Amino acid sequence: MKLNEIKDREGASKSRVRVGRGIGSGKGKTGGRGVKGQKSRSGVSINGYEGGQMPIYRRLPKRGFSNAMFTKKYTTVSVGRLQIAIDAKKLDAKKPITVETLIAAGVVRKAGDGVRILSDGELKAKLVCEVAGASKVAIEKIEKAGGSVKILAAAEPEAEKAAKAKPKKEKAAKEDAKK
């Protein structure tokens, strides 16, 4: 036996059928698909069809998880809108700006999960804001005008995380002391 004589046994590999290459090939004309109709065309969508019965994928309930119920819906107020309210004497710039004062002044209709200040517009008045959130540019504009921003919502979760983390550290220290 020589290397140039090595080959598969007879029938070990079949040559592939070249479909649609003339009548003489045996798979010409319709290419083994039969005659006419939806199944002979490309893009057949017949496998999910159950003869008018409600298909299985629609009979079964939807499953899974969505974070949609945990999203926060903040009411937004622009810096320019705050300035307009101050100019119209609806807001007092000397008192802290909170959700309650914004609702009372008619700047915001309802609070939702809190008020978030955005940076649209200009601010001339010195404000002290106590809100759920503010954009970086809005905070810069308020501080440039001589005011300050206290973010309420962001401070609470960090304090809760710290409170939860301490007992774990204490337990670990007690276990180490016992050993």
pLDDT in tens, 20-46: 999 898 999 999 999 999 889 988 888
Q: With 0.95 as the threshold, say if the pTM is over it.
A: no
Question: How many Å apart are CA 138 and CA 140, to the nearest integer?
Answer: 5
Q: Sorting pLDDT into bands at 50, 70 and 90, what band is 13?
A: very high
Signed CA dihedral, 13, 14, 15, 16: sign only: negative
Identity (one letter) of the amino acid at 27?
Answer: K
Question: How many Å apart are CA 94 and CA 99, to the nearest integer?
Answer: 16
Q: Sorting pLDDT into bands at 50, 70 and 90, what band is 83?
A: very high
Please report the domains of the chain, with CATH numbers, ordered by start residue.
73-156 (3.100.10.10)
Cα 141 off chain centre by: 29
Question: How many Å apart are CA 146 and CA 123, to the nearest integer?
Answer: 10
pLDDT tens digits, one per residue of 106-158: 999 988 889 999 999 999 989 999 999 999 999 999 999 999 999 985 544 45
Tell me how crowded residue 139 is: count the other CB atoms within 10 A of its CB: 19
Identity (one letter) of the amino acid at 143?
Answer: E
What percentage of the chain exceeds 70 in pLDDT? 85
Question: How many Å apart are CA 8 and CA 108, to the nearest integer?
Answer: 82
Q: Across the chain, what does the average pLDDT equal?
A: 86
Question: How many Å apart are CA 49 and CA 38, to the nearest integer?
Answer: 13
Higher pLDDT, 143 or 176: 143
First to last CA, the chain: 74
pLDDT at 46: 82
Average pLDDT over residues 91-117: 90
pLDDT at 157: 47
pLDDT over threshold 80, residue 175: no
Question: How many Å apart are CA 1 and CA 82, to the nearest integer?
Answer: 94
pLDDT at 156: 47
